[in-house]
A and B are shown apart, each in its own frame.
Chain A
Amino acid sequence: MRFDVRFARRTLRQLTSTAGALLALVGLARTAAAQEPYAERDSRHSFWQVQAGVRSTFVTDPGFDPFSTADALTSFSVGASRTVFEQGAYSLAPGVFWDYGSSSATARGQQTSLSAHRLGLALEGRCHLAPWAYALLRVTPSAIHQRARLSDPFAAAPYVANDWTFGIDASAGAAFLLGPQSPSPALVRWWLAAEAGYGYAGSGSLSMHADLPSGDPRRTGDVNLGSVALGGSFVRVYGSVTF
């Protein structure tokens, strides 16, 4: 599936607006929560969370083959979320995530690389199995911007292809409290988490054009490597700070 750039940008703006609204909602919720006696809430269940980690996606799309020898797209991943709903052992935490990953290889001797930004809005449900652990289920629609690059000695300039597409992830995982274990609400806590799931991604075009400066009179033909969809099963391991 493919979207044009204007549609993708509009989608990204909408996602960003929605994320802002959700964060505002989170802020309101936190304000409301602050009016409750904090002793009734376990700060190990309800918190702001900032996380950073690594995501590895098993990309099975053949369009990824020119850019990787191992079908793996490894990304740096950061995100933030806030618990907005809690009942018993269950809680709900929306959040915002940004992944950046790249892969490089050679395709029949030509140097290639592909990088991808993924900006997603997550809705995460948690089941607090113990004060020191919770299981999670997460759904993350996202906007994906991908950039492919190809170098060739006969090209007037490196060949590039930029495209926007969208994706949606569904994953499950678990987080473990490293410490401190104290229920004191004022503490900053450290967690280690891992999740695995499947991410669907739309196809982005790999019709590559020479990245000539504007005004360069040379005319070039495109290199057509088809399209690539950066979806597939993935695993994410991250550390987080809650407060």
Chain B
Amino acid sequence: MIRGARLLALASTVLLAACGGRPSEWDSLPRNLALGQLRDAAVLVDSALNRGLVVRAQADQKLDFRAVRLGKGIISTTTSVDRERTFVLSQGDEVRLRSTDEGPALSVLEAGHPDQVKRYDLPDALPSLALDPAGRYAIVYAGQSTAGGFIKNPNELIVVDLAAPPSADNPTRRSLPSNIGGSPQRLTFTEPLHLPAGDRRLLVVETDRDVMLLDLDHPERPEVSLPVKDPRTDSRPLAPAGIAIDPGQAGSQGRPPALAIRTNQDDNVIVYTLLPSSKDPPENDFIPTPNAAVVGGVPSDIAFVNTNQGPRLAVMVPAPVPTGFLIKIDDNQTLTAKFSAGYQRISPVAGFASDSTTIGDQVMLWSTDGRTNSIAFWDLDKVPDIPFGSIDTLKAVETLNLNGSVASVTTIPERNLKIVETTTRALYVLDPEQHLTSALSTTGKVSLRYAREGDRAWAFVPAQKALAQVVLAGAHILSVDVDRPVNEVLEIERSDGGRALLALHATTGANTANDTTSFELAGGTLGVTVFDALTPDAAKSRRYAAVMLEGLAQ
């Protein structure tokens, strides 16, 4: 019997040994999901597991899932405007006690091969990211976010050269001087400027006190500070509120590049013209020369525009009298246009072409102040050839009355379209070049997502079973049957060249941010219905469920 008792004890020990555990990933609930929308893949950033789930579409509405490792402590997810790259910023382990613990990093997923993640280790955990529209640089900086390390240098810029692989020299860090106490708030990458020593791109850093210029191609050259006031005579706490850039004209006789700055309080617009400098490298080959244009009120928007009289700086001043100014920056010749409404914003329909001198733009004027129930198109091809004076707005401005004040304006650059949403839930598809307007009425808060080609949009009411395709040319509506509430949609290229529409379903938690960067998963699960985006037929759709379990068994 003693032997039997020992055997039973052994059996009990084995039984106890069987009570093991499982990896914690199976118990982690994906509460929040950030989305990256690449041209050919959706990236579901699963911050609970420090991973990305790359979703690619195939023919017949089939999906392929691939999990990739991202950094720990994900702060933000951003996709470039051209949808070629998704950037995931992570701050690493909070406390790094071992050599294997992770530091801050920028993970980059690229269209074409999104499952091959480039990881750039960062020297500091900074929370803000500025992306070069040309795709060459990404800059990590402190910005206005409170996330990141407990102590950080607000004037530090971490420059990542995306064209080069990660190395000891990439990224590089650069600290801006802060002799007047400012810190970077917004970063803008210019297009190539026709600078004296050749075309180059600059980085424009708006701090809360001044503006700085950095030569991206010559990081050894010093930054150039552009003050927005004279600190000896002006005690107002002026801060830059917006900039406009004229790249200038090529050639030695061409117009030099210029940078216009408006501030939060001043009724001047400060224009810096970048003229040749006689200094030798490593000094900069340009020198900014300031000029101030008085516009009689605090500007709400500025932009360089083309008129039939040549390039001008357009300035919108909504108060005390709603006025638009066209300023010739080399001699301050100024034309004014009195508007019937207090338009705040100006948007060139086709963008600013610095080499065009004889054909005027169409610009759209609008306001989101809640008091203006109209938008206007200002024809800049009818600017009189006079040095100073008024523009006849009856001839040059066409007003479109709306069913409510403007809530948002979205530009579709691929088609030169403007999508205007009003506070009364009306949608207008505007084709300013063709002078066509299509009005759509909605019964609820409609979110719109746009195809990369710009020829169609997807409308849905968050957390409801409502989905429709909008063909933007003509605003034709095609309702799409869906039997689950839709919380977000995104369109990607399929492997066979077609297009797939992914309608995402979550238990609750609509994407209230009206963007495609974050997504709440209150129920911890995600479903996806896949449609052919070119012929969205529910009968040919395919449903995927429990998507957040994909990739865990790899």
Contact = CB atoms under 8 A, between A and B. Distances in A.
A, B bound: yes
Contact of A66 (B1, B7, B26): B26
Given A110-B525, A221-B530, A224-B65, A58 B17 contact: yes
Interface stretch (A13-21, A26-34, A91-99, A151-159): A151-159
B22 A159 contact: no
A155 B30 contact: no
A109 B19 contact: no
Contact of A110 (B1, B21, B23, B546): B546
A86 interface: no
23 contacts: A56-B15, A58-B14, A58-B17, A60-B20, A65-B22, A69-B27, A71-B21, A72-B19, A105-B26, A108-B28, A108-B525, A153-B507, A154-B484, A154-B505, A154-B543, A156-B543, A156-B545, A219-B542, A221-B543, A223-B549, A226-B553, A234-B18, A235-B14
Contacts of B523: 109, 153
Interface of B: 1, 3-4, 7-8, 10-11, 14-15, 17-23, 25-30, 61-63, 65, 484, 505, 507, 523-527, 530, 539-546, 548-550, 552-554
B83 to A, nearest CB: 23
A109 B530 contact: no
Contacts of A235: 11, 14-15, 18
Interface string A40-64: 0000000000000000111010110
B542 A58 contact: no
In the complex, which of the residues B18, B542, B548 has the most CB atoms of chain A within 10 Å of its own CB atom? B18
B403 to A, nearest CB: 36
A173 B7 CA distance: 8
A235 B19 CA distance: 12
A186 to B, nearest CB: 26
B527 A154 contact: yes
A159 to B, nearest CB: 7
A157 B546 CA distance: 12
B98 to A, nearest CB: 25
B550 A223 contact: yes
Interface in A163-211: 173-174, 176, 194-196, 206, 210
A242 interface: no
A68 interface: yes
A159 B545 contact: yes
Contacts of A224: 65, 550, 553
Given A218-B543, A219-B542, A235-B11, 4 more contacts: A62-B23, A108-B28, A108-B524, A155-B527
A219 B543 contact: yes
Contact of A237 (B11, B62, B548): B11
A221 B545 CA distance: 8
A70 B20 contact: yes
Nearest to B19: A70
Contacts of B22: 65, 68-71
A65 B552 CA distance: 10
A215 interface: no
Nearest to A197: B14
Nearest to B28: A108
Contact of A152 (B3, B26, B545): B545
Contacts of B549: 66, 107-108, 110, 150, 223, 225
B18 A220 contact: no
Interface in A66-90: 66, 68-72
A58 B20 CA distance: 8
Contacts of B553: 62-63, 66, 206, 224-227
B82 to A, nearest CB: 29
